Structure 1
């Protein structure tokens, strides 16, 4: 049927079939992933950071995202970034053959999309998305996956830092790579959370129970002794009882002290010799007769 103006409609205007699936240009997708920030959609510029899923960001964009408390955040691109510790600053090697936008200011020059700003410092391949690249969480160095396979080592090829297999993160990987990295990220965060919980009770115990020296665990030297010992020590200090050695011959032991009267033993004359007895004035040899003794006593030597 025709319209009033004499136009004839075509078949695709009257019959609507299924929509065609739009094909994404792979070159444009690679340029967007490797040259633009996944959060702010701006051109990548140093300092450049990467998350635990292998996406590239501008560091200032991540900081603004973390400081922004509004509810209009782009949660899809950076919902897994909770703090600045969840990203790693990358150490990238510049490509000497890359000229940038200097030669195409007038628009009369073809832009080579295969040319990239950064290269692998080990193999020399360009980081344009045609080759798989990865970085290390421990140091942030970036190099191609080909360098890891050809030169197998347990330390970084550029800085020499030691790393393990779970420290290697693929940049802009496939869906399978992203799922694997996501599982590792959740496991790592769960382990860190459990570690914090185990540290908190230990810190609380150290605060509630101060350190007690081992010597104080036993009975006190003052209060743990017998009352007789303490009373004897106090009497010795007051001067009521003279100090003397222990009966067992040990000067350091206080528990075996005896009174001073117990140390005085009577002298047995039967077991002593005459020579020893003559030393005392009570001996018969020391006594004088009346004839030998004078009838007067003087205290000075000037007597005439």
Structure 2
């Protein structure tokens, strides 16, 4: 069996054996996890945030993902557990003084050392390049190495002094076991928050209904404005005495007080010109001869 040109094929060209499993380069994986955003695959830039599973993101990428959740994005599965901006924590990172940045690398005449990390632990000084385990606190967002937690045991953050619990410590880019443990904590935390919301709703409804009950049944601080029939004899006498005093001081024909007899203007001591303004005056009354016949009577003429 020869091919064109008299060539003889070898065995590996004719027989297909099992495919070799491709091994992932650990150094390249560490660089991708600690230097690039999980969503946008861009270089991490401040502000950097982390989710409850310990993955790193650019804050701008998370906001864009929340605003546009399209099914076409394949990388959206990595952030499917992020429902709102409250599910991520902004990290307080410490710069590495030994990291020179991208300066001088524009022309390609400089080697970019990817093993050199941009950030370090502010307590121990270890570089955050994936070779050492790092974690952050949900309560304050401070980032430091796990070695700092073990060597300096305290219930307060080493950098800002905020109190924290074991549930607040989240490992960054941890193993599968770490991610499973963090996922269980996340689900328990969200269930707890839902139960608290449900208990708060009936309490809010009770607080709204309480003022209505208090209005119907006022306490001792409120005084009832009772009817005149319910008042005592002393209060009636005081009101009867105060009513004529007010009319005497004013000197004008205002509204009569409650219980007073109404007087006509014709019997008052006012002048005739003032009395003629009212319909009860004699000049306003007409005789039968002056009044119109009922056939021609309208509302516009007399």
Common topology (TM > 0.5): yes
Q: Which runs of 5+ in 1 are unaligned?
A: 240-304
Match of residue 126 from structure 1:
127
Distance in 2 (CA, whole Å) between partners of 1:217 and 1:56 is: 59
Q: Secondary structure at the match of 2:144?
A: strand
Match of residue 89 from structure 2:
88
Structure 1 residue 168: deviation in Å? 0.7
TM-score by length of 2: 0.71
What are the residue-to-residue correspondences of 1:206-221 with 2, within 5 Å? 206-210=207-211, 212=214, 216=218
Q: Which runs of 5+ in 2 are unaligned?
A: 241-302
Structure 1 residue 214: deviation in Å? 10
For residues 197-238 of structure 1, give each alpha carbon's deviation from its aligned partner in whole angstroms, at most 9, with x where no partner exists. Answer: 1111221222234251797269x9687xxx8x7575687568
Cα 1:230–1:151 shift into 2, 3 Å: same
Cα 1:214–1:153 shift into 2, 3 Å: farther
Match of residue 296 from structure 2:
none
Contact 2:39–2:76 (8 Å) recurs in 1: no
Distance in 1 (CA, whole Å) between partners of 2:128 and 2:148 is: 13
Cα 1:69–1:30 shift into 2, 3 Å: closer
What are the residue-to-residue correspondences of 1:56-205 with 2, within 5 Å? 56-73=56-73, 74-205=75-206
Cα 1:202–1:38 shift into 2, 3 Å: same
Structure 1 residue 131: deviation in Å? 0.4
Contact 1:52–1:181 (8 Å) recurs in 2: yes
Match of residue 257 from structure 1:
none
Match of residue 44 from structure 1:
44
For residues 156-190 of structure 1, give each alpha carbon's deviation from its aligned partner in whole angstroms, at most 9, with x where no partner exists. Answer: 11111111111111100000110111111111111
What are the residue-to-residue correspondences of 1:249-268 with 2, within 5 Å? none
Q: Secondary structure at the match of 2:157?
A: coil
Distance in 1 (CA, whole Å) between partners of 2:217 and 2:95 is: 65
Q: Secondary structure at the match of 1:66?
A: helix
TM-score by length of 1: 0.70
Structure 1 residue 111: deviation in Å? 3.4
Contact 2:65–2:76 (8 Å) recurs in 1: no
Contact 1:222–1:230 (8 Å) recurs in 2: no
Distance in 2 (CA, whole Å) between partners of 1:238 and 1:94 is: 83
Query: What's the C-alpha RMSD, in Å, of the aligned pairs?
Result: 2.7
Contact 1:89–1:140 (8 Å) recurs in 2: yes
Contact 2:136–2:143 (8 Å) recurs in 1: yes
Question: Aligned residues, how many?
Answer: 237
Q: Secondary structure at the match of 2:170?
A: strand
For residues 140-163 of structure 1, give each alpha carbon's deviation from its aligned partner in whole angstroms, at most 9, with x where no partner exists. Answer: 111100011111111111111111
Distance in 1 (CA, whole Å) between partners of 2:35 and 2:171 is: 16
Distance in 1 (CA, whole Å) between partners of 2:150 and 2:34 is: 22
